[in-house]
Amino acid sequence: MYTDTHCHLFKEYYQTIEKVIEDAIDSGVHKMIVAATNMENSKEVVSLAEKYPSVYFCLGIHPESVEEERTEFKSYVLSLKNHPKFVGIGEIGLDYYYGKELRNEQLLLFDEMLDLAEEVEKPVIIHSREATKDTIDILNRHRVKGILHCFSGSLETAQILINMGFFIGVGGVMTFKKAHIDEVINEIPLEKLVLETDAPYLTPEPYRKYQNEPKYIPVIAEYLANTKHIPITRVAEQIEKNVTEIFDI
Ligand code: NI
């Protein structure tokens, strides 16, 4: 049994989310943590989790939505604090891939989201692209733990985050030959890793021509097992332990 710790099952991406969830369960993925990225899809993921027993949700405003109004968002999140399927704050973070013009705005938003996580006492799902130093600095100013999602950094960065209490989320990128992420992942203890698809993006090899779905988690698990030269049953067992250590599910 597997958990997809990070996917975006939004209506804008999938015609029939019900089928996506069924196919995931059929392939052994019994839990899916759906991460919102703005106010609109936050509401969507709450109703999805209320409809499907396998679905849990995280609420957050992604750095790409940095200009979004958030007073209403914050009170919405606080009103759901005790919702049984509300497991974390995310996807939140910093993204300087397209430039640093909005750096200050992104830092302010990220800081607000981390405050919110402390207030609701839940783990965080962090997106960090070309922003390692700022990410570590800001996380050091907050009392939060969680997952660094879609990890593609250096072993040194991974080590710093692990020492801060974070887990490293790995997905399809690990299977891309050009990425060379597997060499770094190989050095990270299994006890500090979790699996994620980031669906609908970043489908693992050899399925890259298809849209990504949580059903591909076992493909990523198998790749990880081969990289680490350990049995897949050991990967599945340890990763599920890690998931329950992070999330209250
Ligand atoms: Ni994502």
Question: Which pLDDT band holds residue 87 (cuts at 50, 70, 90)?
Answer: very high
What separation in Å is there between the alpha carbon of 157 and the centre of ligand 1?
19
Report the pLDDT value the prediction gives residue 50, as an integer from 0 to 100: 98
64-80: average pLDDT = 96
Report the pLDDT value the prediction gives residue 178, as an integer from 0 to 100: 79
Position 88 pLDDT exceeds 90? yes
Report the pLDDT value the prediction gives residue 182, as an integer from 0 to 100: 85
What separation in Å is there between the alpha carbon of 94 and the centre of ligand 1?
12
Report the pLDDT value the prediction gives residue 183, as an integer from 0 to 100: 87
Position 133 pLDDT exceeds 90? yes
What separation in Å is there between the alpha carbon of 91 and the centre of ligand 1?
6
What separation in Å is there between the alpha carbon of 129 and the centre of ligand 1?
12
- Measure the CA–CA gap between 104 and 84, rounded to whole angstroms: 34
The per-residue pLDDT for range 165-217, each reduced to its tens digit, is 999 999 999 999 877 888 899 999 999 999 999 999 999 999 999 999 999 99
What separation in Å is there between the alpha carbon of 119 and the centre of ligand 1?
23
223-242: average pLDDT = 96
What separation in Å is there between the alpha carbon of 198 and the centre of ligand 1?
5
Range of the domain at 32: 2-246
What separation in Å is there between the alpha carbon of 15 and the centre of ligand 1?
19
- Measure the CA–CA gap between 60 and 222, rounded to whole angstroms: 30
Could you tell me what percent of the chain has a pLDDT over 90? 94
Position 106 pLDDT exceeds 90? yes
Taking the alpha carbons at both ends of the chain, their separation in whole angstroms is 14
Neighbours of 145 (CB within 10 A): 16
What separation in Å is there between the alpha carbon of 199 and the centre of ligand 1?
7
Specify the CATH number for the domain of residue 78. Answer: 3.20.20.140
131 to 107, 115, 234: CA distances (angstroms): 10, 19, 33
What separation in Å is there between the alpha carbon of 75 and the centre of ligand 1?
23
Q: Which residues pair with 15 in a beta bridge?
A: none
Cβ atoms 204, 171 nearer than 8 A: yes
Report the pLDDT value the prediction gives residue 248, as an integer from 0 to 100: 83
The per-residue pLDDT for range 4-61, each reduced to its tens digit, is 999 999 999 999 999 999 999 999 999 999 999 999 999 999 999 999 999 999 999 9
What separation in Å is there between the alpha carbon of 196 and the centre of ligand 1?
9
Report the pLDDT value the prediction gives residue 70, as an integer from 0 to 100: 93
**Which one-letter DSSP state was computed for residue 222?**
H
How many domains in the chain?
1
Q: What residues contact 78, with CB distance under 8 A and at least 6 apart?
A: 116, 119, 120
What separation in Å is there between the alpha carbon of 7 and the centre of ligand 1?
6
What separation in Å is there between the alpha carbon of 109 and the centre of ligand 1?
17
**Is the bond preceding 118 in cis, omega lying within 30 degrees of 0?**
no
